[in-house]
């Protein structure tokens, strides 16, 4: 068995996430307290009690999702003796790449929390609310070629690109509102269904360049160590362990495409991964894994009993 650990991104947040871990394990509570201290806010209380609209704010959702992933990884290590080094690779979807780097020891928990808080704020600042949009193109006819063709039509009147290549049947476009609207019409004509996403900014497109510039400055000052296992980077869809390359890729990731389908295909193919475990809130990546790599085992790890069963299954 070859294992890869996956770390979820925005959209997996929910009020109550991490509560079962915090109630069951002191080491999980320690993680949440450390994140609260790093940010100077009671993020753990927001995660436990809501309100949902505050938790969903990008600047809160990003560090909160990371905190749950970090807590789950810490419980695996401290309570069940399963370190991240048992995996061949780690990978995270968008902000989840920071969670993966934190779990693999490349970034400290404090630095990761602060970087993600800034990342969320910078992304929100980059484009005034209402000027940008994102849309999910879905359905059996939806593939990368269709999405790129639709985005190209949108790009005739403004910025519009493929932002997230999640899996066949689920691809996200991003850009200026009018351009995305035009791309949606084109996608429908090509046989896809399209849903405007309830997001506060158009992530992973050139409009995010101001946020990328802010993150470049912040990351330049951050300590990045070599991860204990390679991190499959969003913008490369290949593993990377060099700290300076990782620093550059995290900047590129702000405006660049999340190449998740390709990342998963590489791990299940050349990487030889036969088992995927999603560490953190929700099970979005588990669902994607089952579609992209149906021959591999995949399961979410966010409840105490799931972590315990997973650790026992490793022997």
Domain ranges (residues) in the chain:
3-126+207-314, 132-199
94 flagged as catalytic: yes
Judged by DSSP in three states, 18 sits in: coil
% of the chain at pLDDT higher than 70: 100
% of the chain at pLDDT higher than 90: 97
User: Per-residue confidence at 199, pLDDT binned at 50, 70, 90?
Assistant: confident
pTM above 0.95, yes or no: yes
Mean pLDDT of 155-175: 98
Specify the CATH architecture of the domain 132-199.
Answer: 2-Layer Sandwich (3.30)
CA angle 163, 16, 296 (to 5 degrees): 50
Helices and strands, counts by H and E, the chain: 14, 10
263 flagged as catalytic: no
Which of 99, 174, 200, 204 is labelled catalytic?
204
3-126+207-314: which CATH topology? Answer: Malonyl-Coenzyme A Acyl Carrier Protein; domain 2 (3.40.366)
Confidence (pLDDT) at 315: 78
Name the maximum alpha-carbon separation found in the chain.
57
CA nearest to 55, candidates 272, 290, 281: 281
pLDDT per position as a tens digit, 41-87: 999 999 999 999 999 999 999 999 999 999 999 999 999 999 999 99
Which of 94, 136, 281, 298 is labelled catalytic?
94
Phi, psi of 126 (to 5 degrees): -65, -35
Tell me if 3-126+207-314 shares its fold with 132-199: no
Mean pLDDT of 121-142: 94
Taking 90 as the threshold, does the pLDDT of residue 110 lie above it?
Answer: yes
């Amino acid at each position: 068995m070859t294992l890869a650990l996956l770390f979820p991104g925005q959209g997996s947040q929910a009020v109550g996430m991490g509560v079962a871990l915090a109630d069951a394990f002191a080491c999980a509570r320690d993680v949440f307290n450390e994140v609260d201290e790093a940010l100077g806010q009671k993020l753990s209380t927001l995660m436990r009690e809501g309100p949902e609209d505050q938790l969903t704010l990008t600047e809160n959702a990003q560090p909160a999702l990371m905190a749950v992933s970090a807590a789950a990884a810490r419980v695996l290590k401290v309570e069940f003796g399963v370190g991240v080094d048992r995996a061949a690779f780690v990978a995270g979807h968008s902000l989840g790449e920071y969670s993966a780097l934190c779990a693999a020891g490349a970034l400290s928990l404090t630095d990761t929390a602060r970087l993600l808080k800034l990342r969320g704020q910078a992304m929100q600042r980059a484009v005034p609310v209402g000027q940008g949009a994102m849309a999910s193109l879905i359905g059996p006819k939806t593939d990368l070629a269709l999405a790129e063709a639709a985005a190209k039509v949108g790009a005739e009147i403004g910025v519009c690109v493929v932002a997230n290549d999640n899996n066949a049947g689920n691809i996200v476009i991003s850009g200026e509102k009018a351009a995305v609207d035009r791309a949606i019409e084109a996608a429908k004509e090509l046989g896809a269904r399209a849903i405007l996403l309830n997001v506060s900014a158009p992530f992973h497109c050139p409009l995010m360049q101001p946020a990328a510039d802010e993150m470049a400055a912040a990351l330049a000052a951050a300590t990045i160590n070599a991860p204990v296992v390679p991190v499959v980077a969003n913008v490369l869809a290949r593993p990377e362990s060099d700290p300076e390359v990782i620093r550059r890729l995290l900047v590129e990731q702000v405006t660049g495409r999340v190449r998740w389908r390709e990342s998963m295909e590489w791990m299940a193919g050349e990487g030889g991964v036969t088992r995927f475990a999603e560490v953190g809130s929700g099970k979005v990546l588990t669902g994607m894994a089952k579609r992209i790599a149906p021959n591999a085992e995949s399961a979410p790890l966010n409840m105490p009993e799931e972590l315990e069963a997973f650790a026992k299954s490793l022997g």
